[in-house]
Chains A and B, each alone.
Chain A
Amino acid sequence: MNEVCFKNLTKDQCWSLKTYEDSGGYSVWRKILKGKFTSEQVIDELKLSGLRGRGGAGFPTGLKWSFMPRHSDGQKYVVCNSDEGEPGTCKDRDILRFNPHAVIEGMAIGGFVMNASVGYNYIRGEFMEPFKRFEGALEEAYKAGLLGQNINNSSINFDLYTHLGAGAYICGEETALLESIEGKKGQPRFKPPFPANVGLFGKPTTINNTESFASVPEILRCGGQWFADIGVENSGGCKLFSVSGHVTNPANFEVPMGISFKDLLEMAGGMRDGAKLKAVIPGGSSTPVLTAEIVMNMTMDYDGIEKAGSMLGAGSVIIMNESTCMVEVLTRLAHFYYDESCGQCTPCREGTGWLYRVLKRITDGNGRKGDIDLLLSVQNKIMGNTICALGDAAAMPVESFLRNFREEFEYYIKHRKSMVKG
């Protein structure tokens, strides 16, 4: 446990440059600066490591980097997505707080591989403490001569800037994030073209999640195979899981991929007050909810969670005990997506409000016969019909909540009160 991003978690001043360097930090970057590590080697090691994008989509990082138009002329950018806003997710916040230098080193390496001399770390607007920590680390790194122009006479240039968001969930969508950095309203762009070709300020841009970048230095230091061996087939390495909800010790845990859900639950101190587990959202609020029976035999890796009927997402495990009213949970989630839809495309703009209003009337005791079918029909009209994934994120929980807990919804509509709470 805690081998990569959280390696120094228990050390004093774990976010400082000294602590980071004492444990081997920046050794890969220094090798690169000395010309002893090529970008091909970086990509090969990353491919070997099995690292997959930690922001939720799970696309293999090594492959992504190899696709970039690295050798094209002109300015290119690397961007770190620290706009962590999915309900249930809080891992990137702690990486920025406790290991900011790993993000810096990872981004610098990314910049080197992609021939990008400028990087931006887009940090969620509410993350004031992580923002200050990261800025502090950036200052340390510049002072130590690890960033800037012609770093250590290597003729490598890399400048890194932080950009603080302003509180929109949609800016976590990579193209909305780029718009936001450009000073525009954060709205997703239509793709293609993809950021790899036309990204920030119209230039080729590599965007990765904070955890992905933070994992890169350690993977390169210890070897891709070492990382791959920590995890399981198709899910290399370890992963941060943010366990929240009705557990005794909600926290972030960096554990090997493939660990059983049971073990993860135990690490979090088990169910709070010994209550019975009812449901789990395994990957953040947009991933389908699972029932207790299913999760108890689930392993925490990409394939394991998919087999159970959901997605690993960003590794945000929301634990719910028997006292939870699933109708009210879904209503709250629907309100979140209703509130956060950017409004650009029709199905999401109009559909998220519709979903929320139907659910709200159910929880207000005004549900109607046919509302369940209506919810399913509306979510199906949103699903897959929008520019970005926010529409899908709003639609997916509706389908899974209704599939797994339909009787609670029927009860609420019929009796005008919660089946669980009475």
Chain B
Amino acid sequence: MTDIEIDINGNIVTAKAGEMLIVVTDRENISVPRFCYHKKLSVVSSCRICLVDVEGAIKPQPACSTPVVQGMKVQTQNVKTKNSQKSVMEFLLINHPLDCPICDQGGECELQDLAVEYGSDVSSFSEGKRIVTDSDIGVLIQTDMTRCIHCTRCVRFGVEIAGIMEMGGTGRGENLKIEPFLEQGIQSELSGNMIDICPVGALTSKPFKYELRSWQMNSISSIARHDLVGSNLFVQSYKGKVKRVVSADNDLVNEIWISDRDRFSYESLTHENRLLKPQIKVQGRWNQVSWEVALDYAIKGLNSHILKHQKADQLGGLVSNTATMEEFYLFKKILTEIGCDNIDYRLNVKNLDNTILLDSNIKLDALEKIDYALIIGTNIRLEQPMINHRLRKATKKGADIDVLNVMVFDFNYSLHTENIIAPNKIAFILAGVLKSIMINDGQELPDYLIAIDVDEIAKNIAYKMLNSDSSVIILGEHIINNVDASTIANLVAKIAKSANSRTLNLSITGNTIAANLVGCVPQNSGMNVNTMLASDMRGFILLDIYPQYNFHHLGAAIKAFEKDDTFVISLNSFKDDIVVGYSDVILPIASIYETSGTHLNINNDMQSYTAAVKAPNEVKPAWKVLKVMADLLELPGFNYEDSTQVLAEISYQSHVIHNHDIKDNLTSYHNGISVIWQNSPYSIDAVLRHSETLQETKIGQMNNAYMNQTSAKTLKVSVGDKYLGVLVIITDTVADDCVFINANQTTNIYGQV
């Protein structure tokens, strides 16, 4: 596009030929009102409020859909412009109720703002107003469709962003009604964004209904914590309580969207299960005590069980993926200072000799520019909604996506091929892909590839990899405990190298990239988590751990913690019976939005945030608790006044623990049925599990063990039975030799999954 000059209100501004006028005025900070126009949605030009006076045109032109041309003269403030905008306002207010005093949008309503600026005090319309019956669209979004001004942003959001048209316009003329076509309610994992983009009070947050006015709340920018993106958002609070979360703009991270779980998880902060006081177990009885007593008890316990006997090597430190980067660092520093190398965050890994090591080397915003993606082992739409959104955008521009999954999942874009592969065969398909690419490139084959069959699936993927200009291979969580996990990761890395492709490792979760970078993995002679669980440990410090959801070796974990002479210090945000069962000290720590900290996303973007609210009662941010513990242990170098000083001290280095060669065992499949236990998308951490409204959604209710007929026969289960405590669904959408579990509960047996 060539640079041109146009005249807006007498000022010459530079623009690109063909840009829409409103894009230019927005860039120049010249105010033009809009309802239907939204920078991330298609232009429909239907509300007509953006009409501006363009020299040469008899009638004012809509700025959202008028391309600029060299020499164009525009007036955005003259009488002609104002009159036409006033006319449109008058039309809009004909049927819009004047219920601003009881409308949740009041104070942040685009229509209200403009009515103040453009509306008349008295309307010449004196007939009755339209009333629209509401549809119940679910637990997250409150509808008040009488207020709807038919801008269709929510409709376009569904079609263009969420990928499912859940809202639409029925009827015509003034009977046009924006409503869902089906009565099942809105199901999208991104549905809450409709609340943000609705310019009026037609769609508002249901959990926030009638709570507060926007101007009464403190708005603090923060970072979402439930995925690998770290979406930018605003946490809005009133009198120390988080009342609402809305999205913030960051084109490099989340554009302007956030997922429903990032939006509504704040509800957990006031859950009745919050841990509010420190407690200690003295002679088998729990007492609520002051922090001084609790910390004193904890330090004494550490001393008497471990330090006094110089047995720091029998202390274990385990962290979940929910902590901040600063907390991971302090945790690690304390253990290092007392001479303990037993530290780990990889709680959900079955076999730590068979782990995924794979770089992520593509930027989030570059994902939407790829022309080919191979997705392996993830229900990416629900597990990483914001990353999936970028891929969806790529498919809209023509990218092809192939999938290697253990089960058919619901994608919101069409796939090039969706291959349902038994877990024990995925490595062989990938080996076939690598072989095919190497043969094509005339490379000499390594031994482990010589006997590999290249089937049609592998050929097809290799062809796509070789014929794409910018491709990415995405490896997901379902591979973590695959029998060939490390082989798969290595094959992915080799394929990417041969085909000049990028990789994205989504097998990690939460803030574990930060945990790895600060070194929360065993070094030197330190034990890893599974070794710790199998060893005779004298004590544990556990940071935000709920074993039944965190550990792969759940039974072993509980057994290790429960041992009589093992002293366990737990730092948790929520009450938990199992934690109570094995701990000696439980320290209540701040949850999301209650502490300052740093989140490291898949692009290694270090995003720091401050606390939006103070933690309730006697709850303290974990970094402060750790600092005080260090002080009480009389460890040097913990003189921090705030968490930014902690951050400043952190030096970054990746802590790669082992590297694996591709094994020669690609000669035969591992036999047996693989069970993939995947916490359902709204159960991946304690905060989400305590977000009651999210739990009521269809995604929150996901709780099934899926298997095909053959697997069911082998396992001797049938429809209606439970497998590992989860209701069985028999479906041929699952691969052979596989049980795929999406659970919002813990298993009912404390055994091996």
- Would A346 and B173 be within 8 Å (CB), given that A354-B125, A381-B91 are in contact? no
A350 touches B59 (CB 8 A): no
B48 & A386 in contact (Cβ 8 Å cutoff): yes
* B90 near A339: Cβ-Cβ < 8 Å: no
Please tell me if A272 contacts chain B, counting CB pairs below 8 Å: no
Q: In whole angstroms, how far apart are the Cα atoms of A36 and B713 in the complex?
A: 72
Contact of A341 among B92, B124, B173 (CB under 8 A): B173
**Chain A residues whose CB sits within 8 angstroms of the CB of B193 once the complex forms:** none
Residues of A within 8 Å of B92, CB to CB, are: 346, 350
Known contacts A343-B150, A381-B91: A349-B173 contact under CB 8 Å? yes
Q: Is B422 an interface residue (CB 8 A)?
A: no
Structural contact, B87 and A381, CB atoms closer than 8 A: yes
Query: A185–B94 contact, CB under 8 A?
Result: no
B172 touches A345 (CB 8 A): no
**Residue of B with least CB distance to A339:** B173
B174 CB contacts on chain A under 8 angstroms: 338, 341, 343, 349-350, 352-353
Which residues of chain A (356-409) have a CB below 8 Å from chain B?
357, 374, 377, 381, 383-387
Chain B residues, CB < 8 A from A377:
124
> CA A343 – CA B150 in complex, angstroms?
8
Least distance between B487 CB and chain A CB atoms (Å): 44
Residues of A close to B47: CB separation below 8 A:
345-346
Q: How many Å lie between the Cα of A360 and that of B150 in the bound state?
A: 25
A385 in contact with B173 (CB, 8 Å): no
Report whether B90 and A381 are in contact in the complex, using a CB–CB cutoff of 8 Å. Answer: yes
For A340, A377, A387, the residue with the greatest tally of chain B CB atoms inside 10 Å of its CB is A387
Count of chain B residues with Cβ under 8 Å from any Cβ of A?
Answer: 34
Instruction: Mark interface residues in B244-276 (1 if CB within 8 Å of A CB, else 0).
Output: 000000000000000000000000000000000
Interface stretch among B38-46, B195-203, B291-299? B38-46
Residues of chain B within 8 A (CB-CB) of A351 are 91
Q: Least Cβ distance of A342 to chain B in Å?
A: 5
Contact of A170 with B by CB under 8 A: yes
CB pair A350 B91 closer than 8 Å? yes
Q: Indicate whether B672 reaches chain A with its CB closer than 8 angstroms.
A: no
Instruction: Please give the distance in Å from A198's CB to the nearest CB on chain B.
Output: 13
B29-54 vs A, Cβ < 8 Å mask (1 yes, 0 no) = 00000000000000111111101000
**Complex contacts, B172 vs chain A, CB 8 Å:** 168, 170, 340-343
| Cβ A345 vs Cβ B176 within 8 A | no
Asked whether A344 lies within 8 Å of B48 as measured between CB atoms, the reply is no
Of residues 36 to 81 in B, which have CB atoms within 8 Å of A's CB atoms? 43-49, 51, 58-60, 65
Q: Quote the shortest CB–CB distance from A415 to chain B (angstroms).
A: 21
Complex Cα–Cα for A187 and B168 (A): 12
Chain A min CB distance to B80 (Å): 12
Contact partner of B91 (CB less than 8 A), chosen from A170, A187, A347, A374, is A347
A352 to B94, CA, bound (A): 12
Asked if B51 contacts A385 (CB within 8 A), the reply is yes
Find A357's partner among B45, B60, B127 (CB 8 Å cutoff): B127
Bound form: Cα–Cα A416–B587 in Å = 82
Judge if A190 is at the interface, Cβ distance under 8 Å: yes
Q: How far is the CA of A351 from the CA of B59 in the complex (A)?
A: 17
A374 neighbours in B (Cβ, 8 Å) = 124
Interface string of B114-129 (1 = CB under 8 A from A): 0000000000110100
Q: Which residues of A contact B637 (CB under 8 A)?
A: none
**Contact residues in A for B95 (Cβ distance below 8 Å):** 350
- Docked complex: B87-101 residues within 8 A CB-CB of A: 87-88, 90-92, 94-95
Residues of chain B within 8 A of A349, CB atoms compared: 91, 150, 173-174, 176
A345 to B48, Cβ gap below 8 A?
A: yes
Q: Which residues of A contact B94 (CB under 8 A)?
A: 350, 353-354
In the assembled complex, B107 has its CB within 8 A of some CB on chain A: no
Q: Within the assembled complex, what's the spacing in Å between the Cα atoms of A354 and B123?
A: 12
Q: Chain B: which residue is nearest A384 at the CB level?
A: B59
User: In the complex, A386 Cα to B47 Cα: how many Å?
Assistant: 9
Nearest residue, chain B, Cβ from A386:
B48
**Min CB–CB distance A395 → chain B (angstroms):** 12
A170 CA to B44 CA, complexed, in Å: 17
C-alpha spacing A351/B94, complex, angstroms: 9
Selected from A168, A187, A341, A347, the residue in CB contact (under 8 A) with B48 is: A347
* Bound complex: CA A147 to CA B176 (Å): 41
Give the distance in Å from the alpha carbon of A384 to the alpha carbon of B61 in the complex: 9
Partner of B175, one of A343, A345, A384: A343
Write the chain B residue with the least CB distance to A342.
B172
The minimal Cβ–Cβ distance linking A391 to chain B, given in whole angstroms, is 10
Given A185-B169, A384-B58, A346-B176 contact (CB < 8 Å): no
Residue among B45, B95, B149 with the most chain A CB within 10 A? B45
Partner of A343 from the list B59, B124, B176 (CB cut-off 8 Å) is B176
Contacts of A343 in B (CB 8 A): 150, 169, 171-176
User: A323-343: which residues lie under 8 A (CB-CB) from chain B?
Assistant: 338-343
A190/B45 in contact, CB under 8 A? yes
B125: chain A residues at CB < 8 Å are: 354
Q: Is the CB of B46 within 8 A of A338?
A: no
Docked pose: A384 CA to B58 CA in angstroms: 9
- Give Cα A343–Cα B58 distance, bound, in whole angstroms: 24
B84 within 8 A of A: yes
Closest to B67 in A: A192
Task: Provide the A271-307 mask, 1 if CB < 8 A to any CB of B, else 0.
Answer: 0000000000000000000000000000000000000
Residues from chain A with a CB closer than 8 A to the CB of B150 are 343-344, 346, 349
In whole angstroms, what is the CA distance A208 to B405 when docked?
50
| List of B residues within 8 angstroms of A185 by Cβ | 168-169
Q: 1/0 per position for A207-232, CB-CB distance to B under 8 A?
A: 00000000000000000000000000
- Docked Cα-Cα span, A381 to B168, in Å, equals 27
Complex Cα spacing A343 to B95, Å: 13
Q: Which residues of A contact B65 (CB under 8 A)?
A: 190
For B46, give its contact among A344, A352, A384 (CB under 8 Å).
A344
Residue ID in chain A nearest B88 by CB atoms:
A346
B44's contact among A190, A352, A383, by CB below 8 Å, is which?
A190
Q: Are B127 and A344 in contact (CB under 8 A)?
A: no
| Residue of chain A at shortest CB distance from B169 | A185
Q: How far is the CA of A342 from the CA of B59 in the complex (A)?
A: 22
Give A348's nearest chain B residue, CB to CB. Answer: B173
A346–B49 touching, CB < 8 Å: yes
A85 CB to nearest B CB, Å:
13
Task: Give CA–CA (A387, B176) in the complex, Å.
Answer: 16
CA distance A28 to B149 in the complex (A): 53
A209 to chain B, nearest CB (A): 23
Contact assessment for A385 and B88 in the assembled complex, using a CB-CB cutoff below 8 Å: yes
Which of the listed residues B60, B87, B91, B152 has the most CB atoms from chain A within 10 Å of its own CB?
Answer: B91
Q: Are B169 and A385 in contact (CB under 8 A)?
A: no
CB contact under 8 A between A344 and B88, given known A349-B173, A353-B174, A374-B124: no
Q: Which residue of B lies closest to A351 (CB)?
A: B91
Min CB gap B310→A, angstroms: 75
Bound-complex Cα distance A289 to B273 (A): 75
Residues of A within 8 A of B175 (CB): 343
Minimum C-beta distance from B396 to chain A (A)? 13
The 13 sampled A-B contact pairs (Cβ below 8 Å) are A187-B169, A338-B173, A345-B48, A346-B47, A346-B92, A351-B91, A352-B174, A353-B94, A353-B173, A354-B94, A374-B124, A384-B58, A387-B45
The 9 closest A-B pairs by CB, nearest first: A343-B176, A384-B59, A350-B91, A381-B87, A341-B173, A345-B46, A190-B45, A353-B174, A343-B173
Besides the contacts A345-B46, A352-B174, A354-B91, what 5 more A-B pairs have beta carbons closer than 8 Å? A339-B173, A346-B88, A350-B92, A353-B173, A385-B59
